[in-house]
Chains A and B, each alone.
Chain A
Amino acid sequence: MKIGVFICYCGENIGRTVDCAAVAEAAGRFPGVVCSIDYKYMCSDPGQNLIKNAIKEHKLDAVVVGSCSPHMHEKTFRKACADAGVNPYLFDMANLREHCSWVHEDIVEGTKKAIDLVRISVERVKKNAPLSPILVPVTKKALVIGGGISGIQASLDIANAGFDVVLVEKEPSIGGHMSQLSETFPTLDCSQCILTPRMVEVYQHPKIKLLTYSEVENVEGFIGNFKVTIRKKARSIDESKCTGCGLCMQKCPIKKKAFNEFEEGLAYRSAVYVPFPQAVPNIPVIDRSICTYYQTGKCQMCVKVCGREAIKFDQEDTIITEDIGAIVVATGYKLYTIDKKPESSEIKGYGEYGYGKYKDVVDGLQFERIASASGPTSGEILRPSDSKVPKKIVFVQCVGSRDESKGFSYCSKICCMYTAKHAMLYKHKVHDGEAYVFYMDIRSGGKGYDEFVRRAIEEDGVKYIRGRVSRIYEENGKYIVKGEDTLAGMPVTIDADMVVLATAMIAQPEAVKLAQTIGMSYDKYGFYNEVHPKLRPVEVSTAGVFLAGACQAPKDIPESVAMASAAASKSLVLFGADYLEREPTVAKVNETICAGCFYCQKVCPYNAIERKEIKDRQGNIVKIIAYVNSGLCQGCGTCNAVCPSKSVELIGFNDEQIYAQINALG
């Protein structure tokens, strides 16, 4: 094998502590090295040309570059080799910068070490094998889980780029929490007015397959090649026949029974219902747990009035499987509701605020519904208990958040803004009302956000009191709020007509279950973990799965939309090629000697080890061995480390290569 060695000065970086000329000269005398050059900047165009020309001139088989970290320029030099006709994996890089010149000061010792490092690389590259990238086919279809604003944005972006999207939403309608909001900060746009056109766009888009009232049950496979099982729950309505006329809902006798999830419990709904009038699709669902027909077999009022025979009582769940290339998770958040035992939540609850027993002490989403024109009070601010107009309203921030003892330690990010908005909406509707906000800090970092809060204080006359509330209790129809203003150093007690608690955004109760279905990691709060908090905010550790919106961390609408588009663009990067090129430095099992102990499978962090049956000619199973799925394998080498029989090797980092490096040191 004819090897060429190229030593870089990296300007002063290497040249100051390592005598590069001496290294090149010494390397020239290593067995197998036919040319050895030193140059100021190997990564530059002239530097790369040096390599390419040397390859042609000396008919080199392999190349060793002594320069910076492979993290920096391995790709650069591999490309240079490939351009000149040398397989890019017959290349090795000696790190003379981070591993040598940057950590030593003595030039004599530094040069000696650099020579050793180059010698190791030369011996190693002699054992390298030419490799080709692994080509994995890509199914150009995306799955978006969650039909809130994030899911809608991601679906539209991917579909508009010309690719198919399957959008799965567990509620009967898309829209998410944004459809429940009254107005959005900082513009005070009507939430449904800006959202519903998008919802309709999704519904009408030829490339989007909308599956509402459905949930993802199983995800198998790997990037570009997922197989997803979706359960489409039975609506008890034939979607092909229903026109959304709404007669069934009008005539349903169970009008005031069920907790209306959309209205956050402030109103009731019927057994057959759509969550809200602008629901997409505008097809109702029958709640079998309260419908008289399902409970007792009697009543078929909806069947009687339906002119299209769309009611199907015996409808069953359907299981749909889809081949998917990329998954966008946009499952959103839940708002903490101050009840004593919130389902599957770590929160201990606020007994000092009543544990939810006072009707006029409401949470953030309940106030949104009260303020919303399509809400239970048609947008008038009225007390839930007696429908009177509250003349004094108190807003309490940081309920459930920034609270290590009873809630979660994190800051829920949006509550300062939505409280300011609530206070302003109240003042706009109740001109002679008094609004008070108890806060610890004001977090208003977005564009126009701080100006928005100042507007609430300076123009709308909302009184901001800096201090937390210790207790809220009811006395003679009023709510006594005991707080403190720490700036003035005085206790503040307010007899309020209504109290709005700015409750925190928390993870969805089924977030952990979905994470385990897909294979994503999540933090102690249930929010999904991105791979790198700074530089890779929308990717998760499982390749091909991307995050959008509040399921990753509390955030507002602009951030959710931006993140959704980012997740969409990552999916489009995937769909941009017919094949995914993956690094060939993955693990490989020697099927002859593998005993099938599966220690490797236990330790593989990427679920990349599968079971493979070895059969004899008659088709009987001789043994079951481990098999590495090269689409999932990230080449970490853990399997290689634990294998008791050394049956699994890491291509490009096999034992022969490692021993060559060690022996090179003499």
Chain B
Amino acid sequence: MKVGYYPGCSLTGTGKEYDMSLRKVASLLDVELEELKDWSCCGATSAHATNHLLSVALPARNLIIAKHQKLKELAAPCAACYNRMMVAAHELKTKPEIERQVSDLMGESIPYDLSVINIIELFQKVGKEKIAANVKADLKGIKAACYYGCLLVRPFKITGFDDAEQPESMEELIKAAGAQPVDWNYKLECCGGAHSIAHMEIVVDLSKKIIDDAKLHGADVIIVACPMCHSNLDMRQKAIKKEYPAHGDIPILYLSEFIGLALGLKPKELGLNLHFVDTKSLLEKAEIKG
């Protein structure tokens, strides 16, 4: 199976373990990731927050590259990149004025019908059965809280993915990996997103609420599908502890890292040692040697 691959800026920097683990898992599951040549930033939050046209033009450039590489499907593991691509494509599809302006700007037409998929959809394409068949580690006793964040399922009218209020797709994959997903209340609550730098106190408060709820429901780990969420929940736990000294850690794993562990890959290969919050507790419980 081959898909186009758009890593996005974070996966080459602060979220590099996401890229590492995804590539390793993909090769294990016979998925060929064809990276977009010379891709550029999708605009993330700052583009749509300040300039509508820019927020459509930046993703459009990457869709054009995909067109030139004759790719039918593009996987964007970062939920924000996935969301911006889908929204930009939707704008181009439904607003002729915008389509005209952006295609004039880029000098060619933009393939807004190109299929853009997120990491959960990518694993769904591989198939739960295939994942389950390749499981090597025993994660039976691991309770995982699946954190979807904001941008995978919203806005539902554009992504059409899973359910906007009670999604279960990530839980299905966790079950296929042999672990137990927990039913908890903060699956879709915002972590604070791009406020991480200019308004860290917002991120500290919102992320703490998420972590507390996961722990309240007995989770050993929180699974994420977005490098921003990972950063806010993992890197910022230091800041959370500063504000709330009694706060207890919980490991935060990317979906690809967790599935990688299930498939028998080593923690270091998957980049677990690059996390801020030590994943020791999880590895010990799963009896995986670090």
Once the chains are docked, how many angstroms separate the CA of A355 from the CA of B213?
A: 21
Central interface residue in B163, B165, B166, B185, by most chain A CB within 10 Å = B165
Residues of B within 8 A of A357 (CB): 166
Is the Cβ of B164 less than 8 Å from the Cβ of A351? yes
**Does A351 lie within 8 Å of B166, measured CB to CB?**
yes
In the bound assembly, the distance between CA atoms of A585 and B9 in angstroms comes to 78
Within 8 A of B (CB), among A472-489: 473-475, 480
Complex contacts, A350 vs chain B, CB 8 Å: 165
Q: Is the CB of A352 within 8 A of B165?
A: yes
Residues in A whose Cβ lies below 8 Å from that of B165: 350-352, 355
Give the chain A neighbours of B166 by CB distance below 8 A: 351, 354-355, 357
How far does the alpha carbon of A352 sit from the alpha carbon of B188 in the complex, in Å? 10
Q: Which of B163, B213, B216 contacts A351 (CB 8 A)?
A: B163
Q: What is the minimal beta-carbon distance from A355 to any residue of chain B, in angstroms? A: 6
Q: Which B residue's beta carbon lies closest to that of A405? A: B157
Interface 0/1 of B240-279, CB less than 8 Å to A: 0000000000000000000000000000000000000000
Residues of A144-190 at the interface with B, using a CB-CB cut-off of 8 Å, are: none
Chain A positions within 8 Å of B213 at CB level: 475
Least CB separation from A471: chain B residue: B165
Chain B residues with CB under 8 A of A473: 185
Closest to A357 in B: B166
Bound Cα distance from A354 to B183, whole angstroms: 12
Residue-wise, chain A 327-360 has the 8 Å CB interface mask toward B (1 for contact) of 0000000000000000000000011101101000
Cα A531 to Cα B163 with chains together (Å): 41
Query: Are A475's CB and B164's CB within 8 A?
Result: no
Q: Binding site of A, secondary structure by majority: helix, strand, loop or mixed?
A: mixed
Interface size class of A (residues with CB under 8 A): 10 to 19
Residues 143-170 (chain B) with a chain A CB within 8 angstroms: 163-166
Flag if A474 contacts B185 (CB, 8 Å). yes
Smallest CB–CB gap between A356 and chain B, Å? 11
Give Cα A474 to B163, complex, Å. 19
In the complex, the answer to whether A475 meets B163 with C-beta atoms within 8 Å is no
Closest to B156 in A: A348
Q: A615 CB to closest chain B CB, in angstroms?
A: 61
What's the Cα separation between A480 and B163 when bound, in Å?
Answer: 21
Interface residues of B in 114-172 (CB under 8 A from A): 163-166
Which parts of B208-237 form the interface with A (CB within 8 Å)?
213, 216
A475–B213 alpha-carbon span in the complex (Å): 9
Closest-CB distance, B152 to chain A (whole angstroms): 15
Expressed in whole angstroms, the Cα–Cα distance for A480 and B216 within the complex equals: 15
Q: How far does the alpha carbon of A474 sit from the alpha carbon of B185 in the complex, in Å? A: 8
Q: How far is the CA of A473 from the CA of B185 in the complex (A)?
A: 7
Binary flags per residue of B100-123, CB closer than 8 Å to A gives 1, else 0: 000000000000000000000000
CB-CB under 8 A from A351, the residues of chain B are 163-166
A354 and B163 alpha carbons, distance in the complex (Å): 12
Q: What's the least CB distance linking B217 to chain A, in Å?
A: 9
Q: Which A residues touch B216, using CB under 8 A?
A: 475
Query: What's the nearest-Cβ distance from chain A to residue B187, in Å?
Result: 10
| Residues of A contacting B185 in the complex (Cβ-Cβ under 8 angstroms) | 473-475, 480
Distance of A3 from chain B, by nearest CB (Å): 64
**How near does chain A come to B163, taking the closest CB pair, in angstroms?**
6
Instruction: Give Cα A473–Cα B165 distance, bound, in whole angstroms.
Output: 11
Bound CA–CA A354/B185 (angstroms): 10
Cα A355 to Cα B164 with chains together (Å): 12
Which residues of chain A come closer than 8 Å to B164, judged between CB atoms?
A: 351
- What chain B residues lie within 8 Å of A474 (beta carbons)? 185
Chain B residues near A352 (CB, 8 Å)? 165
Cβ contacts under 8 Å, B163 to chain A:
351
> A354 contacts which chain B residues (CB < 8 A)?
166
- Give Cα A350 to B165, complex, Å: 8
Distance A480 CA – B213 CA, assembled complex (angstroms) = 13
In the complex, what's the smallest C-beta–C-beta distance from A353 to chain B, in angstroms? 9
A357 to B183, CA, bound (A): 12
Nearest-neighbor residue (CB-CB) of A475 within chain B: B185
CB distance from A358 to the nearest CB of B (A): 11
A350 to B164, CA, bound (A): 10
Bound: A300/B218 CA distance, A: 50
| Minimum distance in angstroms from A348 CB to a CB of chain B | 9
0/1 string, B4-41, CB within 8 A of A gives 1: 00000000000000000000000000000000000000
Per-residue interface assignment for chain A, residues 435 to 475, with 1 indicating a CB less than 8 Å from any chain B CB and 0 otherwise = 00000000000000000000000000000000000000111
Q: How far is the CA of A558 from the CA of B185 in the complex (A)?
A: 43
**What is the CB-to-nearest-CB distance from B171 to chain A, in angstroms, rounded to a whole number?**
14
CA of A357 to CA of B213 in the docked complex: distance in angstroms? 19
Which B residue sits closest to A351, measured CB to CB?
B165
Q: Which residues 388-429 in A have Cβ within 8 Å of B in the complex?
A: none
Closest chain-A Cβ to B238's Cβ sits at a distance in Å of 27
The distance from the CB of B256 to the nearest CB of chain A, in whole angstroms, is: 27
Nearest opposing residue in chain A for B166, CB measure: A351
A350 to B213, CA, bound (A): 22
Q: Which residue of B lies closest to A480 (CB)?
A: B185
Q: Nearest Cβ in chain A — how far from B150, in angstroms?
A: 14
Give the one of A350, A473, A474 with max B CB within 10 A: A473
CA distance A350 to B166 in the complex (A): 10
Instruction: Give Cα A240–Cα B163 distance, bound, in whole angstroms.
Output: 53
Residue of A nearest to B217 (CB): A475
In angstroms, how far is the closest chain A Cβ from the Cβ of B88?
23
A357 to B166, CA, bound (A): 11
Which residue of A has the minimal Cβ distance to B189?
A: A471
* Shortest distance between the CB of B19 and any CB in chain A (Å): 32
- Complex alpha-carbon distance, A357 and B163, angstroms: 15
CB distance from B285 to the nearest CB of A (A): 25
Chain A's closest residue to B186 (CB) is: A473
A493 and B175 CA atoms in complex are apart in Å by 34
A355 contacts across to B, CB distance below 8 A: 165-166
Task: Tell me, rounded to whole Å, the shortest Cβ–Cβ distance linking A481 to chain B.
Answer: 13
Separation in Å of the A171 CB from the closest CB of chain B? 33
The smallest beta-carbon distance between A341 and chain B, in angstroms, is 12
The A352-402 residues at the B interface (CB cut-off 8 A) are: 352, 354-355, 357
Tell me the chain B residues, 174-203 only, with Cβ under 8 Å from chain A.
185
Closest to B165 in A: A351
> For the complex, what is the distance from the CA of A482 to the CA of B163, rounded to whole Å?
20
> Cα distance A355–B168 when bound, in Å?
14
- CB-CB nearest in chain B for A473: B185
CA distance A480 to B165 in the complex (A): 16
A142 to B207, CA, bound (A): 67
CA of A351 to CA of B163, assembled, Å: 8
Considering the complex, give the chain B residue whose CB is closest to the CB of A474: B185
Q: How far is the CA of A480 from the CA of B185 in the complex (A)?
A: 10
The 6 closest A-B pairs by CB, nearest first: A351-B165, A473-B185, A351-B166, A352-B165, A351-B163, A355-B166
Apart from A475-B216, A480-B185, 8 more pairs, CB < 8 Å: A351-B163, A351-B164, A351-B166, A352-B165, A355-B165, A355-B166, A357-B166, A475-B213
A-B contact pairs, 16 of them (CB 8 A): A350-B165, A351-B163, A351-B164, A351-B165, A351-B166, A352-B165, A354-B166, A355-B165, A355-B166, A357-B166, A473-B185, A474-B185, A475-B185, A475-B213, A475-B216, A480-B185
Binding site for B on A (CB under 8 A): 350-352, 354-355, 357, 473-475, 480
